[in-house]
């Protein structure tokens, strides 16, 4: 179990080095993305002007306040509370996001499925688990909203965050077929039988 | 007792913000208990991060979680409370909108077909406002639950049949917890509705999920089921955030209703670890806030 400081964007070597149960702290840039952002990009033919190659995206739709543009708030938004949503809803978008936009790291909560795991293996990627619901803490890792694209989808726009010491995050899925979530699920099958027996449930 | 609608509007606004920012004391105690019992290192770290988040939210006056949820208000009215229900509901709706615009809060509410967001946290039939009646004649209590999507998206109803008995209920709860995995932001309160009609059963599950820790089902059979299921759920190994561990649920809560001789319905609804809820109680002496 190693710890890595990754400054984004990252190259393939760094991503392939990550293994389940390693920890990672991200630096510099993180893109926020969500249901509507992905639906508009992949189902409705919208495109983003952002270059996401080698970057990390986080599944989020933040609470923001509109403010005057300034050095501290280059996009005209101040982050109020930025937290992470359930990744499972975004499952069918991971492979295209990686193949077409070059995204390499997904930050989310709750884990993702087999399609995502295979996309990580084929294209070189990893899932970094954050503690869902710990948004007040997460917000302290975000310095500013640097830019925003697909602004009309607010709060589900494509957000460009400037981050510092974002983490530590747990590598929960890697490019070598490792998934903490699958381990937990496999382990739970045996535990399910025991729990039902303890509860006196007939087979 | 007359109720001032401006005070209701102000309370409806305040309740939304308080529910998002202040974690109830029973949940804080629940965290301490789970940390004490947890045996796995990753799970201990995750619980520690959640506790740190509570401290940061308090210190920075920030929301516990970015998800402002679907706003649900419960109104409990005593016999001597004089109020027009239509005006009261309108005042609550205005308070909900004001919290969203003035705080500001992210509006998490969209039209279900067009997906348009009015940025008011309101829309057709939302906020959901439920009226009930109290045996305390001089009291009006407004409760607020901002129900986040992580926990609400993992809601289930099964219309089991009488031949399946209580076994169907137990098996269903275990399987729902396993299927939810980390998506509901565990540790959760697992709310279980038993009996009633399909819609009543689901409603009971939500009431159970949002009941304070340490409270028990009024029905002794229901209370026994709660104890058994709480123990069983925490042997499954799902753990905080679904990353493995002992702390899968703070508790399993059961609420029940009588049902039809041919029916055996069971519903599951979960409350995430931010366990957001708040109440305002109006009496002739004024307004007091609680959980």
A184 and B105: CB-CB below 8 Å? Answer: no
How far off is chain B from A98, nearest CA to CA, in Å?
Answer: 23
Predicted local distance difference test score (pLDDT) of residue A203: 79
**Domain A3-178: which topology?**
fumarase (3.20.130)
pLDDT of residue A68 exceeding 90: yes
Report pLDDT digits (tens) over A15-49. 999 999 999 999 999 999 999 999 999 999 999 99
Mean pLDDT along residues B253-281: 97
Q: A88 touching B, CB under 8 A?
A: yes
Q: Kindly list the strands in the beta sheet with B128-133, ordered across the sheet, starting from the edge strand earlier in the chain.
A: B128-133, B70-77, B140-147, B278-283, B286-290
Mean pLDDT along residues B235-250: 97
| Of the partner residues B42, B54, B174, the one whose CB lies closest to the CB of residue A196 | B174
Q: SS3 string of B167-207?
A: HHHHHHHHHHHHHHCCCCCCCEEEEEEEECCHHHHHHHHHH
Closest-CA residue of A relative to B242 is A110
Predicted local distance difference test score (pLDDT) of residue A189: 87
Chain A residues whose CB is inside 8 A of the B57 CB are 136
- Cα B216 from Cα B239, distance rounded (Å): 23
How far off is chain B from A106, nearest CA to CA, in Å?
Answer: 16
φ and ψ at residue A81, rounded to 5 degrees: -150, 115
Report pLDDT digits (tens) over A149-172. 999 999 999 999 999 999 999 999
Torsion, Cα B96 B98 B101 B107, to 10 degrees, reads 0
Mean pLDDT along residues B127-139: 96
Closest-CA residue of B relative to A198 is B232
Q: Which of A144, A171, A126 is nearest to A77 (CA)?
A: A144
- Cα B68 from Cα B269, distance rounded (Å): 18
Mean pLDDT along residues B80-98: 97
Domains of chain A by residue range: 3-178
Give me the residue label for tokens 């899968």. Answer: B248
Mean pLDDT along residues B3-22: 97
φ and ψ at residue B38, rounded to 5 degrees: -65, 135
Residues 12-51 of A with CB under 8 A from B: 21, 36
Report pLDDT digits (tens) over B151-170. 999 999 999 999 999 999 99
Mean pLDDT along residues A186-200: 95
Confidence of residue A188 (pLDDT cuts 50, 70, 90): very high
Percent of chain A at pLDDT > 70 equals 100
Torsion over CA: B156, B120, A157, A44 (sign): positive
Predicted local distance difference test score (pLDDT) of residue A57: 98
Residue B243 contacts residue B101 (beta carbons within 8 Å): no
Q: Which of B243, B246, B247 to mutate to test the interface with A (most CBs of A within 10 A)?
A: B243
Alpha helices in A64-178 (DSSP H): 94-101, 114-123, 135-139
Mean pLDDT along residues B262-281: 97
Report pLDDT digits (tens) over A113-155. 999 999 999 999 999 999 999 999 999 999 999 999 999 999 9
- Cα A47 from Cα A44, distance rounded (Å): 9
Chain B residues whose CB is inside 8 A of the A139 CB are 60, 62
């Amino acid at each position: 179990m190693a710890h890595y400081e990754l400054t984004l964007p990252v190259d393939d070597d760094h991503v392939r080095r990550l293994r389940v149960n390693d920890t990672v702290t991200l630096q510099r840039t993180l893109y926020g993305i969500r249901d509507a952002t992905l639906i508009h990009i992949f189902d409705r033919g919208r495109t983003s002007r952002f270059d996401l190659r080698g970057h990390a995206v986080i599944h989020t739709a933040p609470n923001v306040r509109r403010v005057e543009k300034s050095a501290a708030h280059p996009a005209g938004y101040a982050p109020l509370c930025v937290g992470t949503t359930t990744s499972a809803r975004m499952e069918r978008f991971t492979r295209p996001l990686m193949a077409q936009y070059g995204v390499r790291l997904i930050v989310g909560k709750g884990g993702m499925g087999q399609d995502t795991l295979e996309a990580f293996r084929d294209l070189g990627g990893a899932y970094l688990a954050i503690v869902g619901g710990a948004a007040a803490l997460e917000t302290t890792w975000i310095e500013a909203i640097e830019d925003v694209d697909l602004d009309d989808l607010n709060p589900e726009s494509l957000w460009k965050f400037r981050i510092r010491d974002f983490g530590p995050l747990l590598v929960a899925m890697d490019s070598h077929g490792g998934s903490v979530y699958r381990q937990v699920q496999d382990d739970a099958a045996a535990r399910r039988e025991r729990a039902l027996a303890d509860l006196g449930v007939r087979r | 007792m007359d109720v001032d609608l401006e005070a209701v509007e102000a309370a409806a606004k305040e309740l939304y913000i308080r529910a998002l920012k202040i974690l109830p004391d029973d949940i804080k105690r629940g965290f301490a208990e789970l940390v004490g019992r947890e045996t796995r290192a990753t799970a201990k770290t995750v619980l520690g991060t959640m506790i740190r988040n509570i401290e940061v939210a308090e210190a920075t006056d920030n929301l516990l979680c970015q998800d402002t949820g679907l706003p649900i208000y419960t109104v409990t009215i005593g016999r001597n409370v004089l109020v027009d229900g239509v005006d009261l509901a309108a005042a609550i709706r205005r308070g909900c909108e004001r919290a969203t615009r003035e705080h500001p809060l992210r509006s998490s509410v969209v039209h279900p077909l067009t997906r348009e967001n009015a940025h008011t946290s309101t829309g057709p039939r939302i906020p959901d406002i439920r009226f009930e009646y109290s045996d305390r004649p001089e009291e009006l209590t407004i409760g607020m639950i901002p129900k986040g999507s992580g926990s609400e998206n993992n809601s289930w109803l099964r219309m089991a049949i009488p031949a399946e008995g209580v076994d169907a209920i137990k098996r269903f709860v275990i399987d729902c917890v396993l299927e939810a995995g980390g998506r509901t932001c565990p540790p959760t309160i697992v709310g279980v509705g038993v009996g009633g009609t399909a819609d009543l059963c689901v409603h009971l599950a939500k009431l159970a999920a949002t009941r304070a820790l340490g409270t028990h089902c009024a029905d002794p059979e229901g209370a026994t089921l709660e104890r058994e299921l709480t123990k069983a759920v925490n042997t499954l190994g799902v753990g905080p955030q679904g990353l493995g561990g002992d702390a899968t649920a703070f508790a399993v809560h059961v609420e029940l209703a009588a049902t039809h001789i041919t029916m055996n319905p069971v519903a599951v609804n979960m409350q995430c670890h931010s366990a957001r809820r708040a109440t305002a109680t109006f009496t002739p002496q004024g307004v007091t806030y609680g959980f």
